[in-house]
Amino acid sequence: MAQPIRLRQVSPLKASCHQCSLSNLCLPLAIEENELDRLEDIVQQGRIFNRGEHIFDQSTPFRSCFAVKSGAIKTSIISENGEEQVTGFFMPGELVGLDSMGSKNYACTAKALERTSVCEFPIDKLEELTGKLPDLQHHMYHLMSQEIQGSHQLAMLLSKNTAEERIAALLLSLSSRFQRRRMSGTNFSLPMARNDIANFLGLAVETVSRVFTRFQNQGIISARGREVELLDVEALQTVTREFARQNA
Amino acid sequence: MAQPIRLRQVSPLKASCHQCSLSNLCLPLAIEENELDRLEDIVQQGRIFNRGEHIFDQSTPFRSCFAVKSGAIKTSIISENGEEQVTGFFMPGELVGLDSMGSKNYACTAKALERTSVCEFPIDKLEELTGKLPDLQHHMYHLMSQEIQGSHQLAMLLSKNTAEERIAALLLSLSSRFQRRRMSGTNFSLPMARNDIANFLGLAVETVSRVFTRFQNQGIISARGREVELLDVEALQTVTREFARQNA
DNA sequence: CGCGAATTTGAAGCCCGTCAACAGCTGTGG
DNA sequence: CCACAGCTGTTGACGGGCTTCAAATTCGCG
């Protein structure tokens, strides 16, 4: 038994970024084969978190970024007064912790919404490696700027759009992220509670609930609990652009 | 005349990051002396833009990041429908363009709010340099993560706070940024129009105007046009925390 | 099966956006 | 030098979308 275990500690772990079905979404994206090996040298794979467990906590020392392999994670910041703001939902293939890069402590708390497995990238080794691999550094810049852009989009959604538009946008965002993983873009299960949706979109829980039933009555979606089916994607896209048309 | 000019092309330009009063805010922060020289090799200094001129435009090829030397810049994104969202205001010592890092095109448009001078960092050279200088790379990561965090704070402000709280927060933010430059934190001139404030904070212009007069009637501030004096900073800080107290 | 949490539904109130009109400031041209 | 236009900022009135409060109902898990 000893030998097989030893082998597993080296070979399968090293090979797994190559084999990972998410390698086209995660960090290895656009990296040369031989460079991928060096990334695998620093990654700690296969950590598992149960629903509700914290991957890391705000204001604790920043040690690592995490790539979601399966499951889902929500990040949130707690202001001095204890008010929570959900800042993002992270699906498989997405990188958590970029908002803490270059800082001493984590800027937010990351919590598993369901049973979730992640790959861990120790930040000191990651920074060292990005210094050696220009493509990887470029990709890190890209991912971080994407996060900034996404946050700006969210700010736009929050400041200019109605409840219906915000929820339609979230459903479409989730849909495209499921599709990217070759899963159904019209029939999926929401990883987060209504409460999290409301907090993320800056709405009251009751409003979220009402919009869901309204969409259902209009035949745009079909929802029972967290199970959602998008019946009329075009109608949803119309809703998100509705506001624009009126103010054109 | 020829010789002095030649000398100026080398010596004063190279020395200017050292001499710049903003060097403790901008990129050179926390960089070794000899490394600062290499940063100066790639920077193009002293470009001037008049009020209203664009530093760069959304969807045009991303070439450079810009550090504000004097004046002020606003960045905004235009959605497909033509709706504008102001994403940030940039004061001297702050770096513009981080949301486009690693992308092919600029993610937003940057516009001078007043006569503004900037230092330009060509992105290809900057990326190359950050690959060689770990401290500089670390600082870039830090600046970008700060931008993500700031954007999350904005989202929180937009989704949970009243008009008064948002405007109080903006005034306090501007105040501390003026103070950082050794300028008065209680008596300053707003670089942006009411319209920009409203757009940035997700409010109607009329609401911004009303809150300004309300603050004035309460003796918290004194404002005439863009000239603002903070008469009671503590009261402003209380306003921003008011919401929290009620929901504690 | 039973309890607490999550979700849904209803009713009432309020903050803020919209519409409208006015005032203030700036620059231009007669 | 003043008049006018255009833009920016201010003030008032009104309506609507969302929050809040309250309670019923369902869901989830031991």
Domain boundaries, chain A: 2-157, 161-246
Residues forming a β-bridge with A89:
A74
Contacts of residue B86, defined as CB under 8 A and 6 or more positions apart, other chains included, come to: B74, B75, B76, B196, B199, B200
* CATH fold for domain B158-246: Arc Repressor Mutant, subunit A (1.10.10)
Instruction: Indicate the angle between helix axes B163-180 and B233-246, nearest 10 degrees.
Output: 140
Dist. CA B122–CA B47, nearest whole Å = 13
Distance CA B99, CA B65 (A): 10
**Vertex A209, ends A204 and A212: CA angle to 5°?**
130
Please list, in sequence order, all residues whose beta carbon lies within 8 angstroms of the beta carbon of residue A95, skipping any fewer than 6 positions away: A26, A27, A65, A66, A67, A68, A143
- Compute the distance between CA of residue B197 and CA of residue A216 in angstroms, rounded to an integer: 37
Strand partners for B221 = B230
Distance CA A167, CA B149 (A): 23
Classify the phi-psi angles of A77: left when phi > 0, otherwise alpha if psi is within -120 to 50, otherwise beta. beta
Q: Out of A77, A128, A248, whose CB is closest to B156?
A: A77
CATH code that applies to domain B2-139: 2.60.120.10
Q: Residues 128-167 of chain B: which lie with beta carbon within 7 Å of strand C?
A: 162-164
Angle between helices A134-160 and A163-180 (to 10 degrees): 150
- Rounded to the nearest angstrom, the gap between the alpha carbon of residue B39 and the centroid of all alpha carbons in its chain is 21
The residue count of chain A comes to 248
> pLDDT tens per residue, chain A (248 residues)?
444 444 444 444 444 777 787 776 777 666 677 788 888 888 887 789 999 999 999 999 999 999 999 999 999 999 877 789 999 999 999 999 999 999 999 999 999 999 999 999 999 999 999 999 999 999 999 999 999 999 999 999 999 999 999 999 999 999 999 998 889 999 999 999 999 999 999 999 999 999 999 999 999 999 999 999 999 999 999 888 755 444 33
Neighboring chain B residues of A161 at a CB cutoff of 8 Å: none
At the topology level, CATH places domain A2-157 in: Jelly Rolls (2.60.120)
Out of A134, A245, A247, the one facing B127 most closely (by C-beta) is A134
Partners of residue B223 on adjacent β-strands? B228
Distance to chain A for B95, nearest Cα, Å = 13
Q: For residues A54 and A109, is the Cβ–Cβ distance under 8 A?
A: yes
User: And the tokens for A51?
Assistant: 């629903």
Question: What are the CA-CA distances from residue B177 to residues A197, B30, B165, B220, B236 (Å)?
Answer: 33, 19, 18, 19, 16
Which strand D bases fall within 7 angstroms of a protein CB? 8-13, 17-22, 27-28
| CA A108 – CA B102 distance, rounded (Å) | 24
pLDDT in tens, chain B (248 residues): 433 444 444 444 444 777 777 776 777 666 677 788 888 888 887 789 999 999 999 999 999 999 999 999 999 999 877 789 999 999 999 999 999 999 999 999 999 999 999 999 999 999 999 999 999 999 999 999 999 999 999 999 999 999 999 999 999 999 999 998 889 999 999 999 999 999 999 999 999 999 999 999 999 999 998 999 999 999 999 888 755 444 33
Beta carbons of B165 and B240 less than 8 angstroms apart: yes
The per-residue pLDDT for B118 is 93
Nearest to A55 by CA among A71, A41, A40, A39: A71
Q: How far away is chain A from the Cα of B160, in angstroms, using its nearest Cα?
A: 6
Per the CB < 8 Å rule, is A127 touching B138?
yes
SS (H, E, C) A125-149: HHHHHHHHCHHHHHHHHHHHHHHHH
Predicted pLDDT of residue A35 = 80
Which residue does chain B place closest to A133, by CA atoms? B131
Sheet of strand B221-224, all strands in order from the earlier edge strand to the far edge: B187-189, B227-230, B221-224
pLDDT at A31: 66
A-chain residues near B156 (CB < 8 A): 77, 79, 83, 85
* Contact in structure between A190 and A113 (CB atoms under 8 Å): no
Q: Round to whole Å and give the CA distance between B27 and B30.
A: 8
Q: What kind of fold does domain A161-246 have according to CATH?
A: Arc Repressor Mutant, subunit A (1.10.10)
Report, in ranges, which bases of strand C sit under 7 Å from a protein C-beta.
6-11, 15-20, 25
* CA count, 13 A, side-chain hemisphere, B25: 19
**Å between CA of A164 and C1' of D28:** 28
The distance from CA A76 to its chain's CA centroid, rounded to whole angstroms, is: 12
Chain A residue with minimal CA distance to B100?
Answer: A145
How many residues does the structure list for chain B? 248
If you count DSSP H runs as helices and E runs as strands, how many of each does chain A have, helices first?
A: 8, 11
Position B20 scores a pLDDT of 79
Residue-wise pLDDT tens digits, B26-49: 776 666 777 888 888 888 877 899
For B57, phi and psi rounded to 5 degrees? Answer: -120, 140
Distances (CA, A) of A129 to A18, A118, A126, B69, B208: 18, 20, 5, 33, 48
**Closest chain A CA to residue B142:** A102
Q: What is the pLDDT of residue A240?
A: 85
Mapping DSSP onto H, E and C, the string for chain B reads: CHHHHHHHHHHHHHHHHHHCCCCCCCCCCCCCHHHHHHHHHHCEEEEEECCCCEEECCCCECCEEEEEEECCEEEEEECCCCCEEEEEEECCCCEECHHHCCCCECCCEEEECCCEEEEEEEHHHHHHHHHHCHHHHHHHHHHHHHHHHHHHHHHHHHHHCCHHHHHHHHHHHHHHHHHHCCCCCCEEECCCCHHHHHHHHCCCHHHHHHHHHHHHHCCCEEEECCEEEECCHHHHHHHHHHHHHHCC
Distance in angstroms (rounded) separating the CA atoms of residues A45 and A13: 7
CA–CA gap between residue B61 and residue B210 (Å, rounded): 41
- Please name the member of B127, B152, B248 whose beta carbon is closest to the beta carbon of A137: B127
